[in-house]
Amino acid sequence: MKKLFPLTAGLFLMALACKPPKMDAYEKNLEIPGHSWTYDYKPSFEVNIQPEDTAWLYNIYVNVRHTDAYPYSNIWLLVGTQYPGDSIPKEQRVELPLADIGGKWLGTGIDDIIEHRVPIQQKAIFNHPGTYKFSFEQNMRQNPLPRVMNVGLRIEKAGKRP
């Protein structure tokens, strides 16, 4: 009987590990090639929403990491969102403020590297389970956009849906 308990407990833990995880948070950051973001480089992110994840609200952020020599106080992005079952993403132009009116960076920094987590949607709803695809395209006048090191997506649980 004593030998059976470890085997049973091990099988139970393995069964738990096989279930897909609930999405409490998703975060992925991608490096900008050469730290110079061109129009044709469009980082994309795939987020898998399980049926139980549709009962929650989520906050969606764009992560940006740049050097202190980045020449602007903001960055404009075209954010594409492709919903499960759709073949064409819906696109929205979004401004990410990076510095205040006096030129002080709004993000956190170590040495000459500044990191930002900018909210682009609060209390978002994922109505259907499946794979959601997000893409970011820099939409500034300058191409390539210099001194941008990384861009990323963060989605975190904001509370239960009403």
* Predicted TM-score (pTM) of this structure: 0.85
Mean pLDDT score across all residues of the chain: 90
Of the candidates 73, 63, 59, 26, the one whose C-alpha atom is nearest the C-alpha of residue 43 is 63
pLDDT(17) > 50: no
Q: Provide the pLDDT for residue 24.
A: 84
Region 87-91: mean pLDDT is 93
Q: What is the full DSSP assignment across 135-149?
A: EEEE-SSSSSEETEE
> Is residue 57 within 8 Å of residue 150, measured between CB atoms?
no
- More confident of the two residues 52 and 12: 52
3-state helix, strand, coil in the chain (%, to 5): 15, 55, 35
Is residue 39 pLDDT above 90, yes or no?
A: yes
- For the segment 147-156, what is each residue's pLDDT rounded down to a tens digit? 999 999 999 9
Looking at residue 162, the DSSP 8-state letter turns out to be: -
Does residue 35 have a pLDDT over 60? Answer: yes
The angle at the Cα of 157, spanning 154 to 161, to the nearest 5 degrees, equals 135
Cα end-to-end span (Å), the chain: 48
Domains of the chain: 27-160 (2.60.120)
Residue 82, pLDDT above cutoff 60:
yes
**In this model, does residue 3 exceed pLDDT 70?**
no
Percent of the chain residues past pLDDT 90, beyond the cut: 84
Let me know: does 151 contact 28? Beta carbons within 8 Å: no
Mean pLDDT within 82-90? 94
Q: What is the pLDDT of residue 19?
A: 46
Is residue 131's pLDDT more than 70?
A: yes
Least confident of 6-20, 50-64, 104-118: 6-20
| Residue whose entry in the numeric block shows the structure tokens 């129009």 | 39
* pLDDT higher than 70, residue 103: yes
